[in-house]
């Protein structure tokens, strides 16, 4: 019997230049019969600007670019946090909330300030993620995942990134930054979206 050598498996490229995100995506994909590569590790690779108005549009922009560059299957994702009291903002603009001068801590502080007078019961928020898969023939598939929580009144925890320190996950009564990475991975929006997308790769 021929073995499942990497030469016989289809290639799947993760359309990200961020190695930490690539590791997370690969962990969510789990054991799949694809030879998984990361765009960041391919010489000359680049990604287009995230000019879409939706997570889906941006995830597809990234996946299409990586599929064109490699001729392989490509997986792109886009995500953000939606705060009900801010009518869904910052949403698809989460990474740019407050402008280019802010870092993650600055964006969390700005969000807390925007919610200063908002009572606990009205601080609901949702992380949302869309994963796009583009196959070598140009076929496009998308899947979504989300997780609901509450914005705290101060940052808590040292893990994670982005808005994790201010996002309380009520079922565990901890912020995403207080959870160990593997605990967050079991419940977060990105994991849910990637696991939903596995069916397009023939996985269940």
Binding segment toward ligand IMP, per CB under 6 A, in 29-37, 66-74, 138-146, 160-168: 160-168
Apex 91 CA angle, 190 and 198, nearest 5? 20
CA–CA distances in Å: residue 76 to residues 72, 107, 130, 155: 13, 24, 8, 29
Residues 135, 75: Cα–Cα separation, whole Å: 9
Q: Measured from the CB atom, is 8 or 54 closer to ligand IMP?
A: 54
Residues 70, 67: Cα–Cα separation, whole Å: 5
Among 34, 73, 127, 200, interactor with ligand IMP by CB under 6 A: 127
Q: 168: closest CA among 150, 184, 148, 182?
A: 150
Residues 31, 23: Cα–Cα separation, whole Å: 13
Residue 53 known to be catalytic: no
Among 163, 168, 192, 200, interactor with ligand IMP by CB under 6 A: 163
Reported as half-sphere exposure (CB side, CA atoms, 13 A), residue 108 has a value of: 21
Among 91, 145, 162, 191, interactor with ligand IMP by CB under 6 A: 162
Q: Measured from the CB atom, is 34 or 163 closer to ligand IMP?
A: 163
Burial (CB < 10 A; 0-12, 13-18, 19+), residue 21, is middle
**DSSP assignments along 72-121, one per residue:** SEEEEEEEEEEEGGGTT-EETTGGGTT-TT--HHHHHHHHHHHTTT--GG
Q: Minimum distance from CB of 152 to ligand IMP (Å)?
A: 13
Name residues contacting ligand IMP, limited to 62-101 (CB under 6 A): 77-81, 94-95
Number of residues that bind ligand IMP (CB under 6 A): 15
Among 164, 169, 179, 192, interactor with ligand IMP by CB under 6 A: 164
Q: Minimum distance from CB of 201 to ligand IMP (Å)?
A: 20
Q: Which residue is nearest to ligand IMP (CB)?
A: 162
Asked if 178 is part of the footprint of ligand IMP (rule: CB under 6 A), the reply reads no
The active-site residue out of 31, 77, 78, 104 is 78
* Residue ranges that bind ligand IMP, judged by CB under 6 A: 77-81, 94-95, 127, 160-164, 176, 188
- Which residues are catalytic, by number? 78
């Amino acid at each position: 019997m021929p073995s499942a050598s990497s030469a016989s498996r289809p290639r799947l490229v993760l359309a990200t230049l961020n190695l930490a995100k690539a590791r997370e995506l690969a962990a969510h994909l789990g054991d799949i019969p694809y030879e998984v590569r990361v765009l960041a590790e391919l010489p000359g690779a680049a990604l287009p600007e995230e000019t879409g108005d939706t997570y889906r549009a941006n995830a597809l922009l990234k996946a299409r670019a990586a599929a064109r560059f490699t001729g392989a299957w490509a997986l792109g994702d886009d995500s953000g946090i939606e705060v009900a009291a801010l009518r869904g903002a910052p949403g698809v603009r989460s990474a740019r909330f407050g402008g280019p001068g802010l870092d993650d801590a600055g964006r969390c502080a700005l969000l807390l300030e925007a919610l200063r007078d908002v009572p606990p019961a009205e601080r609901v928020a949702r992380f949302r993620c869309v994963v796009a898969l583009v196959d070598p023939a140009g076929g496009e598939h998308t899947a979504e995942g989300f997780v609901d929580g509450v914005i705290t009144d101060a940052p808590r925890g040292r893990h994670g990134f982005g808005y994790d320190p201010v996002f309380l996950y009520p079922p565990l009564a901890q912020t995403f930054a207080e959870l160990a990475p593997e605990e967050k991975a079991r419940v977060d929006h990105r994991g849910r979206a990637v696991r939903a997308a596995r069916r397009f790769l023939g996985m269940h």
